Chains A and B, each alone.
Chain A
Amino acid sequence: MPQIILKEDISITNVRKLHAQLAEAIEIDGEDVIVDFTNVKRTDLSVYQVLIAFARECRRRRRILKIKGANPKVKEQLLLCGMIRPR
């Protein structure tokens, strides 16, 4: 299962790289994709936009994007970007 571990400094400055990594990961047949936020304290909108578009692409291909290691701040950001629902 492809897993992308985000670096602490993931942001607009290196979002193209993330985009490329994800594009590569989705090409691996039949596998769900895991994005690991363990090292990330917070990030910016560009990262979440890429993930939203990627999640759609996953759905289109009947695949699942899994997010792990999100701290409360990241969860809040995910919520604000509409990626997770409020409890």
Chain B
Amino acid sequence: MAENTIRDVFLEEAKEILRHLETDLIQLEENPNDDVVHRIFRYVHTIKGSAGISGFEDVYGFAHQLENMLDAVRNKQIPITKPLVDLLLESADWIAEAIYESPDFDRQKLLLEKLESYQISCAEGESKLADERRNTVPSAEIRYFRIHLSFRSNIFENGIDPLAIIEDLVSLGSVENMRVHSEKLPPFMEMDPEKCYLEWTILLKAHCPPKKIEEVFLFVKDDNVISIEDVTDDFAVFEGGKIELKERKIGEILVRRGILTEAELDEVLAIQHKTNKKIGDIIIEKGFADEKSVRQALGDQRKIQTRIQATTVRVETKKLDTLLNLLGEIVISQSSIARIADELEEEHGYRLKNALYGMDRITREFQEQIMAIRMIPIGPTFEQFRRFVRDVAVEVGKEIKLEIRGGETELDKTVIEQINDPLKHMIRNAIDHGIESPLERERCGKNRVGTIVLNAYHQEGNVFIEIIDDGRGIDKEAVRRKAIERGIIKGDEELTDRQLQEIIFLPGFSTATSVGELSGRGVGMDVVRTNIEALRGTVEIYSIPGKGTTFRIKLPLTLAIIEGMIVRVGKNVYIIPLLSIVESLQPKKETLKTVEGKGEVILVRDEYVPLVRLYEHFNIAADCVNPWESLVVVVESGKTKIGIMVDDLVGQQQIVIKSLDHFITKSRALSGAAIMGDGTVALIIDVHGLVGEIVSVGD
């Protein structure tokens, strides 16, 4: 495997491990038990091993020290305390920083000193026996190296003995397999005894990083052919390591282990091609390896195959996106064929359409399968907030417990990636403004420990995420006072629930009397809403004074495909997401009105709805300029409705969304584009954005 590939795999894998590590460290503090300690040890151990292979030597060294400490924790030589968890969390942070940013060596030094002094202070309180036992606990990790050595023929002239080097090498571990290649050794009578002819392939099992192996060849590496390959992945299955395993053919395994040479493998394959005999038998017959080695390699191959079959495949999201895009192209092509079918004479057109229906079913199923692959559970995203809640609660002097429900709820990976920040904002608000101080809670007859619940569930084709706190609830009166101060409402006006929500999400709005480090600056909730709306979602607030607040986020299952209504305005085609459409109608002339400050409205089911002339909004030509001659599509965003005036409804279709770069439009009213069956491009209307551009908050 190429070095870059190893590094990429590590970078991906480490993210997941660090997340689990953090979660378990929090759990260690809340509920210390042996299982958690073992898991934590394994995470650090895996990071150490993979970091070493991937060239993160600093991380390797640091993780090694951390592992030593955890080993002592595992052996009950160090008690589990809050300062210990703090130190471990700090160490985990440094590892993450060193992997994904750049290592801060000052901090590393400081942490290493802390780790050491912590261990020493714990050790001082222990008996001498326990101390000795700790010092003898092995902490090294087994690695396998395939080393090929080919020395220059006149190496003896420089006073170097290759055998001494090999002796040094094998002293680092144990030789699992060795081949001495004597093919270049001339017949006895013709040889020059002062020249070097032999070459080696050694499979070494060692407890050291690759660097240590390289050091053996420090003085000969430049003018000799020395190759060192870490082949631990071939053996991980036997050591229980977490290194990626590769399926290999038996010949390849034997070559990698130094039992067979490439030339011998070629010879064996040539014989197999002619005789159809089993490779293992040929190898034994030819005397290239003994039966035991071949049998062992075959056994190992089977174990690796079993392991691979039992595990999942890691696929880059980019590849899934490409797959989805290609599927989109198929859908477009299908639409093109459907158009051709319309133009054909009846019988052929009918047959073609029938075939297309069948194809359409398969395409939809295909699409569902791809979408299913993109779906991942929200649990890990929720879990990462454990640390956040813990740290922030300590900072503000509150006692808060985080409960996670519905972690198995799946949603599109892209949505999960983008929901992180809004969630963080809302949790931060709940900690800072929602949950009361322990004393205040006790005074109110509540448990001094506040609770924040992160809950996720599926409902009606959407995903709902709730952030529920059992704090003091939103102080409606304080919001009202602020709203009056800022001139949003008049002094004698009462706040409706909708107004309350709108005000909270206004840029710069805050009821906090003092600006804290966390919140209170009025920055955040407007960004939260904008981010959620960018995901085609909505956010609502439910609050009961003294009981708590719930933020409910509604999100689509996926961002990649929508069911859309295709509408036409002049020569332009637009797509309105079907989920946002309430109804479409042809208004009567008498239902139209112009209201001062609100512009044009139409009466729909006893309700005045603002009318948006799409041709005016986008500055394009339309066939109809009179609403009563055109069609109006009533759409809803949150609790706000608007009527979009269009020339015609073309049809309903599944749309694969293509993103629009910001330099094409700054309008919030457009969220993307789609390629239609005839090859034209249709713009997708962002209903939330359009409503935001049309309706002011005061309305």
Q: Chain A residues in contact with chain B, CB under 8 A?
A: 12, 15-16, 18-19, 22-23, 26, 44-46, 48-50, 52-54, 56-57, 76-77, 80-82, 86
Chain B residues within an 8 Å CB radius of A16: 193-194
A45 to B161, CA, bound (A): 6
- The interface residues of chain B lying within 8 Å CB-to-CB of A49 are 185, 191, 193, 196-198
| B346 at interface, CB cutoff 8 A | no
User: Other CB < 8 Å A-B pairs besides A57-B188, A80-B163, 19 of them?
Assistant: A12-B161, A16-B194, A23-B188, A44-B164, A45-B198, A46-B156, A46-B193, A46-B196, A49-B191, A49-B193, A49-B196, A52-B185, A53-B185, A53-B186, A53-B187, A54-B188, A56-B185, A56-B188, A80-B180
**Known contacts A48-B163, A82-B182: A57-B187 contact under CB 8 Å:** yes
Interface contact B198-A12, CB-CB below 8 Å: no
Closest to A57 in B: B188
A25 CA to B161 CA, complexed, in Å = 27
Which residues on B sit within 8 Å (CB–CB) of A82? 178-180, 182
- Asked if residues B182 and A52 are in contact (CB atoms below 8 Å), the reply is yes
Contact bitstring B228-242, A, C-beta under 8 A = 1, else 0: 000000000000000
- CB of A45 within 8 A of CB of B182, answer no
Give, as a whole number of angstroms, the nearest-CB distance from A80 to chain B.
Answer: 5
A56's closest neighbor in chain B, by CB? B188
Residue of B nearest to A81 (CB): B180
| CB within 8 Å for A76 and B167 given contacts A50-B193, A53-B188 | yes
Within 8 A of A (CB), among B185-210: 185-189, 191, 193-194, 196-198
Nearest CB in chain A: distance from B179 CB, A:
8
A46 and B194: CB pair below 8 A?
Answer: yes
Q: Does B320 contact A (CB under 8 A)?
A: no
Q: Which residues from chain A contact B298 at a C-beta distance below 8 Å?
A: none
Tell which of A18, A26, A57, A86 touches B193, judged by Cβ atoms closer than 8 Å. A18
Q: Decide if B191 touches A53 in the complex (CB within 8 Å).
A: yes
**Do most interface residues of chain A lie in helix, strand or loop, or is the interface mixed?**
helix
Check B162 for interface membership: any CB of A closer than 8 A. yes
Which residue of A15, A48, A53 contacts B194 across the interface (Cβ within 8 Å)? A15
Question: Once the chains bind, are A12 and B188 in contact (CB under 8 Å)?
Answer: no
Q: Which residue of chain B has the shortest Cβ distance to A15 in the bound complex?
A: B193
Residue B621 is within 8 A (CB to CB) of chain A in the complex: no
**How many B residues touch A, CB cutoff 8 Å?**
24
B362 at the A interface (CB under 8 A): no
Asked whether, in the complex, the Cβ of B187 is within 8 Å of the Cβ of A56, the reply is yes
Q: Given A49-B197, A82-B180 in contact, is the A77-B163 Cβ separation under 8 Å?
A: yes
Task: Please indicate the chain B residues that have their CB under 8 angstroms from the CB of A15 in the complex.
Answer: 193-194
CB-CB under 8 A for A80 and B182, given A16-B193, A49-B197: no
Q: Are B162 and A45 in contact (CB under 8 A)?
A: yes
Question: Would you give the 0/1 interface string for B49-72, flagging 1 where the beta carbon is closer than 8 Å to chain A?
Answer: 000000000000000000000000
Chain A residue nearest to B169 (CB atoms) is A80
Give A15 to B180 CA distance when docked, in angstroms. 21
Flag whether B559 is at the interface (Cβ < 8 A): no
Contact between B185 and A80, CB atoms less than 8 A apart: no
Whether B170 is near chain A, meaning CB under 8 Å from some CB there, is yes
**Chain B residues closer than 8 Å to A22, beta-carbon distance:** 188
Using A45-B198, A80-B163, A81-B163 as known contacts, say yes or no to A50 and B180 having CB atoms under 8 A apart.
no
Contacts of B373 in A (CB 8 A): none
Q: Chain A residues near B164 (CB, 8 Å)?
A: 44
On whether the beta carbons of B178 and A57 are closer than 8 Å, the reply is no
Q: Quick check: is B394 within 8 A (CB to CB) of the other chain? A: no
Bound-state CA distance A49–B156 (Å) is 12
Chain B residues with CB under 8 A of A80: 163, 166-167, 170, 178, 180
A44-B198 Cα distance, complex, nearest whole Å = 13
Instruction: Give A19 to B187 CA distance when docked, in angstroms.
Output: 12
Question: What residue of chain A has the Cβ atom nearest to residue B155's Cβ?
Answer: A45
For residue B301, give the distance in angstroms from its CB to the closest CB of chain A: 23
| Cβ–Cβ contact B163 & A44, under 8 A | yes
**Smallest CB–CB gap between B151 and chain A, Å?**
9
Assembly CA distance A15 to B189 (angstroms): 14
Complex-state Cα separation, A76 to B166, whole angstroms = 11
List chain A residues, Cβ under 8 A from B188.
Answer: 22-23, 26, 50, 53-54, 56-57
Question: In the bound complex, what is the Cα–Cα distance between A57 and B189 (angstroms)?
Answer: 8
Q: In the bound complex, do residue A81 and residue B186 qualify as a contact, i.e. CB atoms below 8 Å apart?
A: no
Q: What are 29 inter-chain pairs, A to B, with CB distance below 8 A?
A: A15-B193, A16-B193, A19-B191, A19-B193, A22-B188, A23-B188, A45-B163, A45-B196, A45-B198, A46-B156, A46-B161, A46-B194, A48-B163, A49-B185, A49-B191, A49-B193, A49-B198, A52-B198, A53-B186, A53-B187, A56-B187, A56-B188, A57-B189, A80-B166, A80-B170, A81-B163, A81-B180, A81-B198, A82-B179
